[in-house]
């Protein structure tokens, strides 16, 4: 019989591989969800990215039993009191240095996750939760 350490190693290796695959699937699907256009998207639908970068720069990191998937916040995008990906994802009223702005919800991470779960691409064993802040 194989030793306990060998079984534990094999299980951990398989878990990490599965998390990496699911996180990469979510990341790739989110990037495909964001269309490139100079105009704004209608409320309730994913936002349009203005360039190939910007909101489409999405990364993932896996830890022991979790994976974090989300957009990268650029350090020079501190115009509002929240990061731009947060503004699009959850909507609401945000203030800049000069005025208040009201943005409708244009979820792209949540929208993509719902699509993947609906078509059965993500197994039911994975629980998905989304934080209110992408970057602390």
Q: What is the pLDDT of residue 49?
A: 78
Q: Compute the distance between CA of residue 26 and CA of residue 23 in angstroms, rounded to an integer.
A: 5
Q: Compute the distance between CA of residue 46 and CA of residue 51 in angstroms, rounded to an integer.
A: 15
Q: What is the pLDDT of residues 36-83, one digit of tens each?
A: 888 888 877 787 777 777 667 788 888 888 888 877 776 666 666 677
Q: What is the pLDDT of residue 124?
A: 61
The answer, yes or no, to whether residue 133 has pLDDT greater than 50, is: no
Say which residue, 125 or 88, is predicted with more confidence: 88
What is the DSSP track for 100-131? EEEE----SHHHHHHHHHHTT-S-TT------
């Amino acid at each position: 019989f194989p030793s306990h350490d060998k079984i534990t190693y094999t299980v951990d290796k398989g878990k990490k591989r599965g998390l990496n695959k699911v996180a990469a699937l979510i990341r790739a699907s989110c990037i495909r969800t964001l269309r490139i256009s100079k105009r704004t998207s209608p409320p309730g639908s994913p936002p349009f990215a203005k360039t190939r970068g910007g909101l489409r720069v999405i990364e993932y990191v896996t830890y022991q039993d979790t994976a974090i998937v989300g957009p990268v916040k650029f350090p020079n995008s501190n115009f509002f009191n929240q990061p731009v990906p947060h503004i699009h994802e959850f909507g609401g009223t945000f203030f800049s240095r000069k005025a208040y702005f009201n943005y409708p919800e244009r979820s792209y991470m949540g929208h993509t996750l719902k699509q993947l779960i609906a078509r059965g691409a993500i197994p039911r064993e994975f629980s998905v939760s989304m934080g209110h802040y992408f970057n602390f």
